[in-house]
Homo-oligomer: A and B are copies of this chain.
């Protein structure tokens, strides 16, 4: 046989599960999109179509919904850990499970003044509005021994309207760009961070708190860095996380430079004093890098942040 099978994985992708937890009249919501990918002893299903080792993708879907009831959804990470452990431990041929989860956040809807007197609360306890632009993500991988948890976010759009410069760069025969001493810096953050928790003997991080704090440090670093390049800002965002969050060893960013070009208003006899910008779509600069704790190995794949 001149051809052979290489790396392979399968499962059900994008299982949309919403879990409501009732604490008296107060409801809590977890809203996830769960994708399962399993690997193992799967040569026969590829070579001959024998499904003897193949747990149907439909079953992996059912498991997601059943586990939402059986284990609840404490956090996306914890839910992924339950699922990955189950698939690897319950099925002999499955040697590795990768669970990817997107989480959508919700805020509570405030109550009208008239109603708040009546219900004794300033929020409707079962009413929600989708929060923010960004999506929280996590990927949990388990091979029966070791865990790898990579969490992050995507589509977090941020902008500094000053404190950004770009000059002193290489100029070759194709260079026409003018140096900038005060520009808008805007990007749509895609970030992934890897936890150093890797086996069941270690104490597990507080996933919810870790996410909130990591996001906060990242945003603060973006806002507080006086930027000479988007690369420098990226590095500050990453090192701020590594320095403040001991549970995280590695961060990777994919940062599109969402260009805001000053519009030339001189043809109309007007001066544009850093006021009026054209927000461009394409092309865009794309800056990608890993920042990691000194001494650890990088393991977040290069392509993972721009999925």
Copies in the complex: 4
On chain B, the residues within 8 Å of A281 by CB distance are 16, 281-282
On chain B, the residues within 8 Å of A127 by CB distance are 158-161, 222-224
- Say whether, besides A111-B223, A132-B132, A229-B45, A3 and B293 are in contact (CB < 8 Å): yes
Q: Is A212 an interface residue (CB 8 A)?
A: no
Partner of A228, one of B49, B228, B260, B284: B49
How distant is the Cα of A16 from the Cα of B284 in the complex, in angstroms?
Answer: 11
On chain B, the residues within 8 Å of A272 by CB distance are 69
Q: Is A234 an interface residue (CB 8 A)?
A: yes
Q: Is A175 an interface residue (CB 8 A)?
A: yes
Q: State the A residues within 8 Å of B (CB).
A: 1-22, 27, 29, 31, 35, 37, 42, 45-59, 61-63, 65-66, 68-70, 90-91, 93, 106, 109-112, 115, 124, 126-133, 156-163, 166-177, 184, 216-217, 219-220, 222-224, 227-229, 231-232, 234-235, 238-239, 242-243, 250, 252, 256-257, 260, 263, 265, 267-268, 270, 272, 274-294, 298, 301-304, 306-307
